[in-house]
Amino acid sequence: MKVVERFIRYAKIDTQSKENVKTSPSTDKQWKLAKLLEEECLQLGLKDVKLSEHGILTATLPANVDNKPVIGWISHMDTSPELSGANVDPQFIENYDGGVINLNEETTLDPSEFPELLNYQGQTLITTDGNTLLGADDKAGIAEIMAAIETFVKNPDLPHGTIRIAFTPDEEVGHGADHFDVEAFACDFAYTVDGGALGSIEYENFNAATGFVTIKGRGVHTGSAKNKMINASRLAFEFDGLLPSFDRPEYTEGYEGFYHLMKTEGTVEEAKLVYLLRDHDEDRFAWRKDYFAECANQLNRKYGSEAVSVQIHDSYQNMKEKVLPHYHIIQTALDAMESLEITPSVDPIRGGTDGARLSFMGLPCPNLFTGGHNFHGRYEFIPVPSMEKAVDLLVEIATRYAK
């Protein structure tokens, strides 16, 4: 089965995960894809195919060359809670001409807004129909891993060491590695296939935390509220105003960190805010958390109360320090790209990946491209040649470690 066929098959299965759910997977619908992939692994003749009680699927392609490193390939099955993953209807734009793509009557992919489209003129693109996300994050990664495995199965003379694969649930809600058994996975190192544009390889990611702000107000009748009312919703606006105006996702790039106001709710009596805190630099990240807490202290001093409270929960760390001591993993991927005439692009991840947590759990795990763009939304697209190159790259890396 070609990589595109696999991707379309997987994309049409709704696997959207859900925030703040204690069960794993967070949604029952993720089991459907997990069980399909389990069946496909068995059909390919893979060994040690196991679907855990927490929805993590692992399998092994045994080596045909002795005494070589054991490599892991990892992708996640869930899609983002930010937009529906139900009834995904992928559209094929053949021989893209560089113009505006009409996804539906209301939604367009316009190169004036998404200039990266122009890099793929003459290629076939897969887009959404404008109503849902596409799910290339990370069903493209799953399809590419499965296609690479199939390449080895159908070409038994291609040399490779033992290859372990894993597909996890709930990566999009920060729990993909919660129940991952690194010791049982038994790899020397691994790659997540969860990146973006053709050529990207990533081994630096944000340090990440979530900030929860709770504001207790005092409700008094508006006719007699003077010097008595404390409007929690107003204090919420004031708290947000204390954060640096340009430290927001829409104003930052590269290594620049941010505060992202993700959710608000409030009345006069109580307001709640949820923020994402992100920074690549560890010291700057610590400062960012301290400043966030100080904003609450400042408001409490101003109003002479303990109206504002803050909780900060760390999510994941920058994996750079855990990957760099094993730089051969990166160098091999870079060399493999160049041999395939792929221009490498080493970029910091402005987000997270299972690989970040796995690296701190003892499994060095940089991130390779899938080829996709504009993840988590209706403007998502992926060029077919980029997916095919991702398959070639996985095969090339494995054969290089088998020499």
Is residue 325 classed exposed, middle or buried when 0-12, 13-18 and 19+ CB atoms within 10 A define those classes? exposed
Q: d(Cα 56, Cα 270) in Å, to the nearest integer?
A: 39
Q: d(Cα 148, Cα 145) in Å, to the nearest integer?
A: 5
- Name the catalytic one among 40, 78, 150, 204: 78
Q: d(Cα 161, Cα 311) in Å, to the nearest integer?
A: 46
Is residue 183 part of the annotated active site? The answer reads: no
The DSSP element (H or E) to which 40 belongs, if any, is helix 30-43
Widest CA span of the chain, in angstroms? 85
Phi, psi of 271 (to 5 degrees): -135, 150
Q: d(Cα 36, Cα 321) in Å, to the nearest integer?
A: 36
Is residue 78 part of the annotated active site? The answer reads: yes
Q: Taking the chain, what is the end-to-end CA distance rounded to the nearest angstrom?
A: 28
Phi, psi of 4 (to 5 degrees): -65, -45
Q: Are 389 and 372 in contact (CB under 8 A)?
A: no
Written as six digits, the tokens of 49 are 């195919």
Q: Report the sign of the C-alpha dihedral through residues 145, 150, 153, 154, in that order.
A: negative
- Name the catalytic one among 40, 144, 170, 171: 171
Residue 294, CA distances (Å) to 210, 248, 329 in order = 16, 18, 41
* Active site residues per annotation: 78, 171
